Chains A and B, each alone.
Chain A
C-alpha cells in the first residue's frame, strides 16, 4: 500500500498560511497554559521537595505535620543529641541543630502583609542544609541582633535587603547576610540565633531537632528508639519526606486547577482544529477524489489528513513550548497550608513538561483530525472528482 508523501500534508499547511498560523497559535496558547500550570504546581512541589535531604532526619512532636505544630522540650532535645546514630561534626560535636520556628507578619514590597517563617538556628544548621549557602554578606554573630534572610525574602519584602534594619518582636535587627537555598523553602525564611530568639520571642521550647545520620540505614534504629521513649512523645522523619509531605493540599489544588482548566480548554481548541481540518478537506474534495482515483488507498488518504492535523498542532505545541521558556524566570509566592506562611518559588519548566506539552498538542491534533480524516477517506470517488 503506497503512502501519500509527507510533503503533501505539509504543503497543504503552507498553502493555507493564515489559517494554519491562527490555528497553530490557538493550539500553542493551550499548550502554553498546560505547561504553565504544570510549572506552577511543579515549582511549588520542587521548593518543598528539595528543602529536605535524605541524609538528614528531623525530630518533631508526634502527630505534627509541620514544625509549627511541633514542640520539642530542652530535655527532649538533649536526649536526641545524645543518640549514637548522629554523625559527628569536625569539632567532634553531634552534627545536629535544635531549632525554633515562629511565623511573623512581614510587609511585602507591594504593601500587603503575609506570614514568613522565622527560624532560630544553631551553629550546625547551615551546614546541615547542603543546598543553602551564604549568598552575600556574612552569617549572623550569636547573641547579637543580627539575622540573615533567604534570597526570595530579600527580593520580595520591605527592609530585607542586605544592611537593612527590620523590627521583629519589638527589637531592631540588622540584615547581615542573604541565604541562597537553591529554590527550596529556606529561601523564604529569616534565620537568627536560636538562643537569642527563645527569650525574645518568648518561646521556652524548640520546634525541631534536625540531624545528620552517620549512615542513612541507621534511620530505622533511631526512629524506633526515640519514638518508643515515653517521656517526650517524639516523631522521627526523614527530612526530605517531611517537607515533601507538606506540599499536599496546595499542590493538589494547583494540579487540580491545572488539569481542570487545560482539559476543558483543550476541548475548545479541538473544536477549532476540527473546523480548520473540515474546511481543509472540503476545499480539496476534488484533489482527494483524484488521489483515490489514482489508486491511493483510503487508509493512505486518512493518514495523510491526520498527519496534516498533527503537524499543524505540533507547530502550535512548539510555539507554546517556546513561549513557556520565559515563564521560568517568574517567581511567585503562595500560602503553604502546612506552615500558614508564604512559600515563594520559581516556576519550574522542565524538559519533561515541554515534551508533555508537545504530546498534548499532538493529541489534540489526532482528535481534531480524526473525523475530518475519516470524511476524506470515505469520499465517494466519482462525486468527488466531478466537484468544482
Chain B
C-alpha cells in the first residue's frame, strides 16, 4: 500500500499524541476484554459440564439433602449407567478470604463419572486407598504451594469441626474449561464424622446416561419416582444445573455490558476529539493534496485510514495485553471465577470493536477533509 508512508508519517511525527490515543484505546479494549471474560468464564463452567451427566437435587433447593437410600434405587433405573454422589462442604482454609470449593465425593464412582478430572494412575489409586486423602486442582495447588503428601486443614462451617486432608493427587482438567480450583475428598470420611441425625444424607447425586438425548426421559422418570415422597427430587442435566446456578448470580452480564459500553463510549468520545483536532490542524495540507490531484474520496480514505490504524493498533494492544496478563495473573476474585481465561473470540470481538471505533472516530474528520474546498482552505493562510 503505497499510501502507508503518508498515513504513518503523521502518527510518527506526533508521537506523544499518537502514544496517548493508542494507549487510551488500548485501555478501553483491555477493560472490555476483562469484563467480557467475566461473562465468558461463567460460560466456561457450562461448556465444561457434560450433557451425559444428570444432577439430582432436592426439589425445593440445593440446601436440602436427599437420603443415601436413593442411591441403590437410582442405580436400578433403566438408562442409568452410573451413580455417584457428593456433598458441598463449604469449609474455610486458614482465612475466609481463601475461597475455593470443597466437595465430599464417593470416590470410586466419582473417578468413573468424571473422566475430565485427570491424574496419573498411581495418584488415582493412592486417593482411592486412603480415607483421609484429598485431591486438588493444579491451579489451587500452585496457589497455596501444596505438594503430594501435604496435610491441608479445612475448618467446616456447615459441618462443624476441623478436617485434615492429605493431598494424594493433583488433577488437571482434560480441557481448559475444566475448573482446577476444587478440592475433592472422601464422602465416607465426612459421613462417619457426623452425629447420627446427620448421617447418610447426600447433597446431590450425579447420574451417568449413555447419551444426551435420553436426559429428558430419564430425568422425568427419576422425578416421578420421588414426586410424592417427603424428599422430592429435581433432576436436570449438569449443563442446566450450572445454568441455574449462574442465574443466581443475578444479571451480572447486564452489569458488565453497561460498564463495558460506558467505557467504550467515553474513550470513543475522547478519540473522536483527538482525531478532529489532528485533522483541523491539517486543513492546509489537505488542500495541498487536493491541488496536487488527490481526489476527495482518496483524501477521505487517507484520513479515515489513519484513525482506523490508530484504533486497531490500540485495540490489538489492549486485547493482547488482557490475554497475556490473565494467563499469568490469578484473577479468580476469591473463587468467583475459577476459570478466568480470555477467549480467542473475546480478542476477536475486541478487535472488531476497535475497527468500529476507528471508523466512527475517523468519520467526521474524514468527511470534513473530503468536503474541504481548496480555494477556501488556502486563502486562510495566504
Q: B-contacting residues of A (Cβ < 8 Å)?
A: 18-19, 22-23, 25-30, 32-33, 36-37, 40, 63, 65, 68-69, 102-105, 108, 112-115, 169-170, 201-202, 248-249, 252-253, 256-257, 260-261, 264-265, 267-269, 271-276, 278-279, 283, 332-335, 340, 342
Surface stretch bound by A, among B68-76, B122-130, B266-274: B266-274
CB of B157 within 8 A of chain A? Answer: yes
Find A332's partner among B25, B30, B251, B336 (CB 8 Å cutoff).
B251
Find B255's partner among A40, A112, A115 (CB 8 Å cutoff).
A40
With contact pairs A36-B259, A63-B160, A253-B333 given, residues A272 and B273 touching in the complex (Cβ less than 8 Å): yes
15 A-B contacts, Cβ less than 8 Å apart?
A19-B277, A23-B269, A28-B266, A29-B265, A37-B259, A63-B157, A104-B60, A105-B61, A253-B336, A257-B333, A272-B271, A273-B270, A276-B270, A278-B16, A342-B248
CB of B21 within 8 A of chain A? Answer: yes
| CB pair B277 A30 closer than 8 Å | no
Cβ–Cβ < 8 Å partners of A265 in chain B: 27-28, 31, 263, 266-267
- Closest Cβ–Cβ distance, residue A27 to chain B (whole Å): 8
Q: Mark B241-257, 1 if CB is under 8 A from A, else 0.
A: 00010011111101100
Chain A: CB-nearest residue to B270: A272
| CB pair B61 A103 closer than 8 Å | yes
| CB pair A335 B270 closer than 8 Å | no
CB of B349 within 8 A of chain A? Answer: no
- Expressed in whole angstroms, the Cα–Cα distance for A33 and B250 within the complex equals 19
| CB pair A264 B27 closer than 8 Å | yes
Cβ–Cβ < 8 Å partners of A102 in chain B: 60-61, 63-64
Cβ–Cβ < 8 Å partners of B28 in chain A: 265, 268
| CB pair B60 A169 closer than 8 Å | yes
Q: Determine chain A's interface SS by DSSP, over half rule.
A: helix
| CB pair A25 B269 closer than 8 Å | yes
- Expressed in whole angstroms, the Cα–Cα distance for A276 and B157 within the complex equals 56
With contact pairs A115-B248, A265-B27 given, residues A29 and B20 touching in the complex (Cβ less than 8 Å): no
Find B266's partner among A112, A170, A201, A269 (CB 8 Å cutoff).
A269
With contact pairs A264-B27, A268-B28, A332-B251 given, residues A275 and B61 touching in the complex (Cβ less than 8 Å): no
- Expressed in whole angstroms, the Cα–Cα distance for A153 and B73 within the complex equals 38
Q: Mark B219-246, 1 if CB is under 8 A from A, else 0.
A: 0000000000010100000000000100
- Closest Cβ–Cβ distance, residue B292 to chain A (whole Å): 23
Cβ–Cβ < 8 Å partners of A248 in chain B: 96
Find B270's partner among A23, A108, A114, A249 (CB 8 Å cutoff).
A23
Please, how many residues of chain B have a CB less than 8 angstroms from a CB on the other chain?
54
- Expressed in whole angstroms, the Cα–Cα distance for A133 and B28 within the complex equals 45
Cβ–Cβ < 8 Å partners of B263 in chain A: 29, 33, 261, 265, 268
Cβ–Cβ < 8 Å partners of A69 in chain B: 157-158
| CB pair B267 A275 closer than 8 Å | no
CB of B24 within 8 A of chain A? Answer: yes
Cβ–Cβ < 8 Å partners of A332 in chain B: 250-251, 254-255
Cβ–Cβ < 8 Å partners of A201 in chain B: 60
CB of B382 within 8 A of chain A? Answer: no
Cβ–Cβ < 8 Å partners of A170 in chain B: 232
Cβ–Cβ < 8 Å partners of B251 in chain A: 332-334
- Closest Cβ–Cβ distance, residue B278 to chain A (whole Å): 8
Find B259's partner among A18, A261, A269, A275 (CB 8 Å cutoff).
A261
Chain B: CB-nearest residue to A108: B247
Chain A: CB-nearest residue to B161: A63
- Closest Cβ–Cβ distance, residue A41 to chain B (whole Å): 11
Within 8 A of A (CB), among B327-375: 333-334, 336
Cβ–Cβ < 8 Å partners of A334 in chain B: 249-252
With contact pairs A105-B61, A272-B24, A274-B20 given, residues A33 and B269 touching in the complex (Cβ less than 8 Å): no
| CB pair A22 B16 closer than 8 Å | no
Cβ–Cβ < 8 Å partners of B255 in chain A: 40, 332
